[in-house]
Amino acid sequence: MDAIAEGRFQRVGPRKVAQVLDEIRGKKVLMAQQILRMTPRACVTVVSKTLESAAANLAFKMTKAGRQLEPERVYVKTCFAGQGPMRPMRRVRPAPMGRAMTFRRKVCHLTVVVSDGRKED
C-alpha cells in the first residue's frame, strides 16, 4: 500500500531539494529520518516534514483498511522535486539604465511516496 505527501510552494530551489531527496530515495523511513537529522542543509526541515506526513498518511490508510502497520517495513518508494512558479516578489533589484527589475525567487514542489511493500486490495 502506498501513501503520498506533497510539499508545495516551498521557497527552496528544486536542485537543492533534489540533492537531499537522492540521499533518502529507496531507504527505510526510520533510516531516512536519521539521515535527514545529520544532513547540514537548510531544506532538510521541508523534506523531513513531508516525509513524516507521508508516513502518517500511510498509517492512517492502513488503520482505515483494518491492517496493522509495521514501521520497520515502511520505505521511501519514490521522491522528487519539481520547479514551481517563479512569481515576482515585492522586491526590486537595480537594472541597467536606472531601471528596477522585480526579484524572482525559485519555488519547488516536492513529492514523497512511501510504501510498506504490500499490494493494495
Give the model confidence (pLDDT) of 4-63 as tens digits. Answer: 999 999 999 999 999 999 999 999 999 999 999 999 999 999 999 999 999 999 999 999
- The per-residue pLDDT for range 80-92, each reduced to its tens digit, is 999 999 888 788 9
| pTM for the full predicted model | 0.89
Name all domains of the chain by residue range, CATH numbers in brackets.
2-115 (3.90.470.10)
Question: Burial letters for 46-64: b for 16+ Cβ neighbours within 10 Å, e otherwise?
Answer: bbbebbebbbebbbebbee
